[in-house]
Amino acid sequence: MNADHDTVLSDALRSIDAARRRAFLTVAAGWLATFGALAWFAYVLNTSDSLKRALAAAVVALVLAVSVAAFAVMRYVAQMTRRILRAIEAAMTPPPPPRA
C-alpha cells in the first residue's frame, strides 16, 4: 500500500515537472518567434517598398507579441491565484493545541 502511494506521488510530481517544462518551452518558443517576426519586419521595412508586405510583417509581429504577453499574464494570474488560495487555506486551518 505504501509503495503504491509513493508511485502515485512520484508520477504526479513527474507530470507537474513535465507541464512546467512544456510551459517554459512554449514561452521560449513564443519569444523567439516574436523576435524573429520583429527582425523580419525590420528587414521588410529596409529592403522592400511593398506596403502590403510591410503590413503583413507588422501584423505577424504584433499578433505574436500580444499572444506571448497574454500567455505571460495568464501564467502570472494563475500563480497569484495559487498563492492566494494557499494563504486562505493556511488562515482557515485551526491553530495547533497549546502544549502543556
What cell numbers appear for 46 in the block?
529596409
The domain in which residue 69 lies consists of 22-91
Of the two residues 90 and 45, the one the predictor is more confident about is: 45
- Given this model, what pLDDT does residue 2 score? 56
- Given this model, what pLDDT does residue 62 score? 94
**86-91: average pLDDT:** 84
Q: How far is CA 100 from the centre of its chain?
A: 49
Residue 48 in domain = yes
- Given this model, what pLDDT does residue 75 score? 85
Quote the number of domains for the chain.
1
- Specify the residue for cell string 505571460: 72
Residue 33 in domain = yes
pLDDT band at 1 (very low <50, low <70, confident <90, very high): very low
Of the two residues 53 and 96, the one the predictor is more confident about is: 53
**67-86: average pLDDT:** 89
In this structure, what DSSP letter does residue 93 have? S
The percentage of residues in the chain with a pLDDT greater than 90, rounded to a whole number, is 44
Residue 15 in domain = no
- Given this model, what pLDDT does residue 41 score? 93
Residue 27 in domain = yes
Q: If we measure between CA atoms, which residue out of 70, 71, 40 comes closest to residue 58?
A: 40
Torsion angles phi and psi, residue 50, rounded to 5:
-80, 115
